[in-house]
């Protein structure tokens, strides 16, 4: 199994490399530099800033140089910068922020990553718990009003964008009823609305998946035997059927984690949470290229890591599967 | 083989696709949820097309004497921070959202069908490499790369179309590839090849019609997910730019207008409702089409 995990980690390298390279070249193709502000800076200041940050334009060529030589000079210069950036990345160094003076991108991202991680972990746990309970109820009380209610809830949860859910929560609980904080960070109560916003659509998915899978498992012989021998419903539902029925849910947790990562950007903006998503959006609006590039890399690495974790969880639950 | 039977076989072959679509449509018509959804969608599309010119207001017309007005007879959905009529803006925003959904889907379907079709038809090593590329791309944080693109090249509607189309083709490519892989092993393709039919003709006349149902289903389901992505980008401020609007950007504008002192619920409610109801209807229609057209459901 460890060899397989190592294999998967190895496959992550080309993906990350592709993300990094694409992002790097997109930024280099950008018209207008990052230092173009409303008030023009001294060209010398810009030049020194650009040198400092490793994004200087190619050195000028003598006026007589041909088109070919010019292109070669550009390419060589770009290649040098690319190699330098990639080398830095391998050491975990993403360069200095172009917007916040004196701060390194990796510092900004590391500090905000913790906030985002707490939010994401809370959302995933809530989604899992709600989804399993709702799915179990729906499968157990199949074709009753409860089941239909759960299904309608699932369809709604799947179709609604999470900022719609978030804005409704904000309006009703934060501003109208004033029972929960409408934004901010630092107190446990601040976590409730954002985590629920992220979790509800996912729990709808999970409930739907788990319901279908549980109904299939409950139809199997070993469950009937257990019931015939007098095992209670509670033990059957939460003890005997879970291990078989939960596998599709586990494989959904990879995409679910990806959805949380993407959704957290929106939710952090909605509820004014100082997480990585907020930094990413602000960085993009401020044209802080190194910060945006670093955030894209971290998001990519997170997505890959989640998928690997899901595969590992899969093997731990189902002994028939060997990674 | 007499001439009679030859004609019958030809007729049978000609009728078969029509039968498939007819049966699909009948099945769809008996699906009440899908029927309601399609009627609703037609109404929404018509309202977005005609509505802005009937409302009596221009979408960018400001009236600073009547800002933040709750819904009244004059402004059925109220007004925003610049006194613009919200209903006009919601209908106008619907145009952009729907247009992005449809055009983005067309682009991604075109890419996905060609890519998946080639991979499936070639098979073997080429297929393996092409699908491996898709796997790698699946792991990319695409929405973040799109935001990066928007940051760097400025925010234009054209770039939005291309970027969203380029993000969404992966699933379609996978599905089409699987279908083509299956269809190309069937006897009638073998037969066509034995008769010396050229490869483009085989693809067009024998394989494409058989994958068409699947393509239609996934294209329909693709529209809401492209719209969702557009809303995501516009909400963050990377989509359409003011004074133009989409449902996502209207929802984002609303966010700046609500605070404990002044709860302008209409600014939140109407754009969100328009977007949610449309997405819901599209998903219902897609599910209905899948039940009606998916080859695995046919003849059952």
Indicate if the pLDDT at residue A177 is higher than 70.
yes
From chain A, the residues in CB contact with B131 under 8 A are none
From chain A, the residues in CB contact with B228 under 8 A are 161
Cβ of B268 and A285 within 8 Å?
Answer: no
Distance CA A303, CA B136 (A): 12
* Over residues A184-190, mean pLDDT: 76
Cβ of A296 and B148 within 8 Å?
Answer: yes
* Over residues A226-236, mean pLDDT: 80
Tell me the pLDDT tens digit for each residue of B92-102: 888 888 888 88
pLDDT given for residue A126 in this prediction: 92
Please say whether the beta carbons of B253 and B267 come within 8 A: yes
From chain B, the residues in CB contact with A160 under 8 A are 276, 279-280
From chain B, the residues in CB contact with A18 under 8 A are 136, 140
**pLDDT tier, A129 (very low <50, low <70, confident <90, very high otherwise):** very high
pLDDT given for residue B298 in this prediction: 44
Tell me the pLDDT tens digit for each residue of A268-300: 888 888 888 888 888 887 777 778 888 888 888
Which residue do the tokens 């209903």 mark?
Answer: B87
Residues of chain B with pLDDT under 50: 1, 14-15, 297-300
Distance from CA of A276 to the nearest CA of B (A): 12
State which residue of chain A sits closest to B221, comparing Cα positions. Answer: A159
Record the tokens describing residue B236, joined without a space: 């963050």
DSSP 8-state code for residue A40: P
Record the tokens describing residue A126, joined without a space: 């809530």
Please say whether the beta carbons of A135 and A214 come within 8 A: yes
Cβ of B153 and A292 within 8 Å?
Answer: no
Distance CA B107, CA A213 (A): 35
Record the tokens describing residue A60, joined without a space: 């000028």
B129, B151, B279, best to mutate vs chain A, most A CBs in 10 Å? B151
* A14, A22, A164 ranked by CB distance to B275: nearest: A164
Distance CA B133, CA A158 (A): 28
Indicate if the pLDDT at residue A34 is higher than 60.
no
Cβ of B136 and A14 within 8 Å?
Answer: yes
- Averaged confidence pLDDT in chain A: 79
State which residue of chain B sits closest to A19, comparing Cα positions. Answer: B140
Residue B149 — φ and ψ, nearest 5°? Answer: -60, -45
Residues within 8 A of A (CB atoms), B 43-82 only = none
Residues within 8 A of B (CB atoms), A 186-245 only = none
pLDDT given for residue B300 in this prediction: 34
From chain A, the residues in CB contact with B279 under 8 A are 159-161
Q: Is A19 within 8 Å of chain B by CB?
A: yes
Tell me the pLDDT tens digit for each residue of A207-216: 888 888 888 8
* A23, A167, A287 ranked by CB distance to B145: nearest: A23
SS3 A55: coil
A159, A165, A293, A305, best to mutate vs chain B, most B CBs in 10 Å? A159
CATH architecture of B3-298: Orthogonal Bundle (1.10)
pTM, rounded to two decimals: 0.78
Cβ of A26 and B145 within 8 Å?
Answer: yes
Q: Is B280 within 8 Å of chain A by CB?
A: yes
Residue A68 — φ and ψ, nearest 5°? Answer: -60, -45
pLDDT given for residue A223 in this prediction: 82
**pLDDT tier, A125 (very low <50, low <70, confident <90, very high otherwise):** very high
Tell me the pLDDT tens digit for each residue of B154-167: 667 788 888 888 78
Which residue do the tokens 């995409």 mark?
Answer: A255
């Amino acid at each position: 199994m460890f060899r397989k995990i190592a294999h998967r980690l190895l496959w992550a390298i080309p993906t990350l490399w592709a993300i990094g390279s694409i992002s790097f070249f997109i930024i280099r193709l950008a018209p207008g530099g990052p230092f173009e502000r409303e008030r023009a800076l001294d060209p010398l200041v810009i030049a020194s800033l650009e040198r400092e940050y490793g994004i200087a334009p190619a050195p000028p060529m003598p006026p007589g140089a041909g088109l070919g030589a010019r292109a070669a000079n550009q390419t060589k210069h770009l290649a040098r910068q690319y190699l330098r950036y990639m080398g830095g990345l391998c050491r975990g160094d993403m360069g200095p922020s172009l917007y916040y003076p004196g701060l390194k991108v990796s510092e900004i991202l590391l500090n905000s990553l913790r906030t985002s991680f707490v939010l994401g972990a809370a959302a995933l746990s809530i989604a899992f718990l709600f989804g399993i309970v709702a799915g179990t109820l729906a499968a157990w009380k199949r074709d009753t009003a409860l089941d239909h209610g759960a299904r309608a809830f699932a369809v709604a949860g799947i179709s609604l964008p999470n900022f719609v859910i978030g804005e409704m929560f904000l309006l009703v609980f934060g501003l109208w009823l004033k029972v929960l904080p409408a934004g901010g960070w630092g107190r446990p109560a601040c976590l409730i609305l954002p985590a629920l916003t992220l979790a509800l659509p996912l729990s709808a998915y999970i409930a739907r998946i788990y319901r279908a899978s549980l109904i299939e498992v409950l139809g199997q012989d070993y469950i009937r035997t257990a019931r015939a021998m007098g095992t209670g419903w509670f033990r059957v539902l939460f003890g005997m059927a879970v291990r078989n029925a939960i596998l599709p849910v586990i494989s959904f947790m990879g995409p679910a984690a990806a959805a949380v990562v993407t959704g957290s950007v929106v939710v952090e903006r909605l509820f004014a949470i100082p997480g990585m998503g907020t930094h990413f959006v602000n960085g993009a609006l401020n044209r802080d290229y190194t910060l945006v590039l670093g955030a894209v890399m971290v998001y990519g690495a997170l997505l890959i890591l989640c998928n690997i974790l899901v595969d590992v969880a899969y093997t731990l639950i189902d002994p028939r599967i060997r990674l | 083989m007499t001439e009679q039977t030859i004609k019958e076989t030809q007729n049978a072959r000609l009728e078969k696709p029509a039968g498939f679509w007819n049966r699909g449509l009948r099945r769809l018509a008996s699906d009440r949820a899908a029927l309601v959804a399609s009627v609703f969608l037609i109404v929404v599309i018509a309202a977005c097309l005609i509505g802005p010119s009937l409302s009596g207001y221009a979408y960018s017309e400001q009236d600073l004497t009547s800002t933040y007005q709750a819904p009244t007879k004059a402004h059925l959905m109220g007004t925003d921070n610049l006194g613009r009529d919200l209903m006009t803006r919601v209908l106008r925003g619907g145009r952009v959202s729907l247009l992005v959904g449809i055009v983005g889907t067309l682009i991604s379907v075109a890419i996905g069908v060609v890519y998946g079709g080639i991979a499936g038809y070639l098979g073997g090593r080429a297929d393996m490499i092409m699908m491996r590329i898709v796997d790698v791309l699946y792991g990319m944080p695409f929405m973040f790369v799109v935001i990066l693109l928007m940051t760097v090249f400025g925010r234009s509607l054209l770039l939005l179309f291309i970027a969203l189309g380029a993000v969404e083709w992966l699933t379609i490519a996978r599905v089409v590839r699987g279908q083509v892989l299956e269809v190309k092993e069937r006897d009638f393709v073998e037969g066509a090849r034995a008769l010396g039919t050229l490869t483009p003709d085989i693809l067009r006349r024998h394989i494409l019609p058989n994958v068409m149902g699947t393509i239609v289903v996934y294209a329909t389901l693709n529209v809401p997910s492209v719209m969702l992505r557009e809303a995501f980008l516009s909400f963050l401020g990377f989509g359409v730019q003011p004074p133009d609007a989409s449902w996502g950007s209207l929802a984002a504008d609303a966010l700046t207008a609500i605070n404990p002192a002044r709860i302008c619920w209409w600014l939140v409610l109407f754009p969100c409702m328009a977007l949610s109801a449309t997405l819901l209807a599209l998903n219902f229609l897609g599910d209905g089409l899948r039940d009606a057209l998916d080859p695995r459901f046919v003849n059952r």
